[in-house]
Homo-oligomer: A and B are copies of this chain.
């Protein structure tokens, strides 16, 4: 096991005071997160799936046997200090919304009824032209997009004050918007703010939330495949405010598997002939994705994964010609359970064909909730450590990680994990790990 020369511990502000976790979209994911945190605080359940709560990190040489919890290595906000709030197009409380989502079992949900009933969403910034299958009523009205943004800023300030929070993070947990391409209005902060005034149609609601958050000094992470913060204008704003941003699209079921199996193929130099992915899901997310506009946004997010992992330019014989198809179907009986079926056609020695089939019977919100929690806590850490702009080390959590101009996104889950852990080691002044292991041959 190899190590580098030690880094020096970076200066990180302590996690003192309460942290507001502001969630646009109080649906299945958000209520599973909130209800789950309340259950964990009461000792009713474990925060499984959360690296910040359960993960350890190996330090030093492997013979030292040092593996503290991550939250013992770096100063993260504790669950006790989180204060949840959010916006939604329906006025239901977090309890009613969770009951409707049917993710948390009734008996457990009943035990966290009080804190969830206390959470009532603020009126959302929303327009049905961006999410065709959704029809909400609990919506802000204002003459311009800038005015909507200012209303959100006012919401944030009021929330912090009323709840006595010292700082906040925002994590987008709302629906997938229609597909929007980068255009002139996204090219600079000036152009963007002019667009806010002029109600530019290329400014989707999620962008207004991001703008408002950053203006208020709040880091923003994007759990949907929407463009949102992945435009120069918002990156510019984040840099200017010295705030972290991250996105996009929580990496949960099928894509999570894809970013594990594709690296295996490349590790072993097995060729890829084709990859067919189909998904069935029956919750609100599925309904929204039944609209071709929203589906395209999701599809683009899901399709890019393989090409970046497999590097066809380096391996034309192996990855130069594969077919990749992704389909998503709204299938009511599945409810919040999401099921993927992947058929992977691979080529081995001499080009001989083989097949891998993966059937993943997963649960959307169960996989997404701990991701949202980790992002909230790590974004807050990043802000306190002075890491601003795109948080590449959090690529681990995203289907379609944001990248700096000129670089490619890293999709390989295991490289992403090493990036995340070495970043934490670096923040804590610990040696980085390379797995060299020269000790084996020194005798």
Contact = CB atoms under 8 A, between A and B. Distances in A.
Nearest to A352: B366
Contact of A54 (B239, B318, B391, B404): B318
A348 B410 CA distance: 25
A49 B348 contact: yes
A48 B439 CA distance: 32
A415 B421 CA distance: 13
A94 to B, nearest CB: 16
A440 B404 contact: yes
B274 A256 contact: no
Interface string A9-40: 00000000000000000000000100010011
A359 B356 contact: yes
B359 A363 contact: no
Nearest to A440: B392
A142 interface: no
Most buried by B among A36, A269, A317, A349: A349
B415 A269 contact: no
Chain A: number of interface residues, binned into ranges: 35 or more
Interface in A392-430: 392-393, 396, 404, 406-407, 410, 412-415, 417-419, 422-423, 426
Given A329-B276, A418-B418, A436-B426, A357 B354 contact: no
Interface stretch (A117-125, A149-157, A260-268): A260-268
Contacts of A314: 56, 67
Contact of A349 (B270, B273, B367): B367
A356 B367 contact: no
Contact of A434 (B39, B359, B433): B433
Contacts of A414: 263, 267, 412, 414-415
Interface stretch (A171-179, A214-222, A338-346): A338-346
Interface of A: 2, 4-5, 32, 36, 39-40, 45-51, 53-56, 62-63, 67, 103-104, 106-108, 239, 256-257, 260-261, 263-264, 267-271, 273-274, 276, 278, 280, 314-315, 317-318, 322-323, 325, 327, 329, 331-334, 339, 341, 343, 345, 347-352, 354-363, 365-367, 369-370, 386-393, 396, 404, 406-407, 410, 412-415, 417-419, 422-423, 426, 432-441, 443
Given A36-B350, A348-B366, A419-B437, 12 more contacts: A48-B317, A48-B348, A50-B349, A51-B268, A103-B352, A269-B370, A274-B332, A323-B331, A357-B357, A423-B436, A423-B437, A434-B434
15 contacts: A4-B432, A49-B348, A49-B349, A54-B269, A104-B350, A257-B356, A274-B333, A327-B327, A349-B366, A349-B369, A356-B362, A359-B359, A387-B441, A393-B437, A434-B434
